[in-house]
Amino acid sequence: MNGMATIDLAYVQRFKDRHGRIRHYYRRKGYATIGLPGDPGSTEFMAAYAQAHGRAPKADPATKVQPRSINHLMVEYYRSADFLDLEPQTQKTYRQILDRFRAGAWGGRSAVSIEPQHLNGIFHQMADRPGAQRNLRKRLMKAFAVAVELGWRKDNPVRETKARKRKSKGFIPWSEAEIATFEAKWGEGTRERLALCLLLYTGVRRSDVVGMGQQHVKNGRIAVTQDKTDVPIWIPVHPRLKAEIARHGAGMTFILTQYGKPFSPAGFTSWFVERAALAGVHGRTPHGLRKAAGRRLAEAGATTKEIAAVLGHTSLDEVETYTRSADQAKLADTAIAKLEKAEKRTARVKP
């Protein structure tokens, strides 16, 4: 019979290791895990238990930062309503940008004494990456606004900095020729054709396409709540899209990977860009088809509000981004035709 004493001690857990030996650990949420030597009740066991039980909790990472440092400011920004009101995916993206910044030499620097010239020096080093430069500046602008709110400083130093201006026109809209080239390669019934139709005939973003399924087709409409804006939209199902969906049958997710799993937004973009390149369409993205959808609507004579309703924009100003590439030549032809028609009317009424 085993003469080992049985003692009921709080936070002690008993495990058998791979050699069959019984081991004991002090495990308590918020405290460091401590191995307890010897047998329960022995002098060494009880001494180790008393020491573990008397230890202070593990420090909160927020308490390890230097007060009013950049690290401290980021902790406070992540607790702010401005940050917490963001969508989870947006929070993740913003944290990645800011955490990369504070992971270097700047994390321990004072958020109170940092000046615009210091930040301009940082942005200058990022001149070859204008997109990353602008994104960091935007995120720091929000973070230092919290420093002002907390009374750490009276000004936001980011406001006095300069970021390299955007030269890129953003995602390039697909032309009709590029759409036709893609369709010639990827025929009806292929995943590629279905993806094209979903993007082109709904105008939704990639983050919405990857989650779309038969459950979103209701009463002849695509009904989906946009992932980015949380705004619900109801779009009539275009006949070509309806036919393509029918070829694939019902499914909770229309577009799946080769392993039968839903795509992530980034994974979908990589796959679609690759399939477009195989068709001979290079440098075009899913978002470019969203712009093409806006262009097509503009060329068809849709009003700004009508285009906004399809693309799911709450601001009419945003529609300009997607209608900017409307067929200039076609619109110019119409304008000149109207001018010529007016001139003929004028000529007929001259004495």
pLDDT tops 70 at residue 170: no
Q: Tell me the pLDDT tens digit for each residue of 177-192.
A: 999 999 999 999 999 9
Q: Where in the chain is the domain with CATH 1.10.443.10?
A: 176-329
pLDDT tops 90 at residue 175: yes
Task: Pick the range with the lowest mean pLDDT from 231-240, 254-263, 287-296, 317-326.
Answer: 317-326
Strand order of the β-sheet with 22-26 is 12-16, 22-26, 34-36
Q: Tell me the pLDDT tens digit for each residue of 58-106.
A: 544 444 678 899 999 999 999 898 888 887 878 888 999 999 888 877 8
pLDDT tops 50 at residue 5: no
CATH value of 176-329 in 3.30.499.10, 3.30.70.260, 1.10.357.10, 1.10.443.10: 1.10.443.10
Say which CATH superfamily domain 63-160 falls into. Answer: Tyrosine recombinase, N-terminal domain (1.10.150.130)
Q: Where in the chain is the domain with CATH 1.10.150.130?
A: 63-160
**What residue type is assigned to position 120 of the chain?**
N
- Can you say whether the dihedral through the CA atoms of 297, 298, 302, 306 is positive or negative? positive
Whole-number Cα distances in Å, 99 to 68, 91, 125, 136, 163: 16, 12, 18, 10, 20
For the chain, the straight-line distance linking the first and the last C-alpha, in angstroms and rounded, comes to: 129
Taking Cα atoms as reference points, which of 174, 173, 196 lies closest to residue 186? 196
Q: What is the mean predicted confidence (pLDDT) over 206-232?
A: 86
Q: Tell me the pLDDT tens digit for each residue of 293-329.
A: 888 888 887 888 888 888 877 666 666 655 655 555 5
DSSP string, 163-208: -PPP----SPPPPHHHHHHHHHHS-TTSHHHHHHHHHHHH---HHH
pLDDT tops 70 at residue 331: no
| Stated pTM of the model | 0.51
In Å, the largest CA–CA distance within the chain is 129
pLDDT tops 80 at residue 114: yes
| CA dist., res. 265 & res. 255, Å (int) | 11
User: What pLDDT is attached to residue 60?
Assistant: 46
Please, are residues 111 and 70 in contact by the beta-carbon 8 Å criterion? Answer: yes
Please, what is the average pLDDT of the chain? 82
Percent of the chain with pLDDT over 70: 83
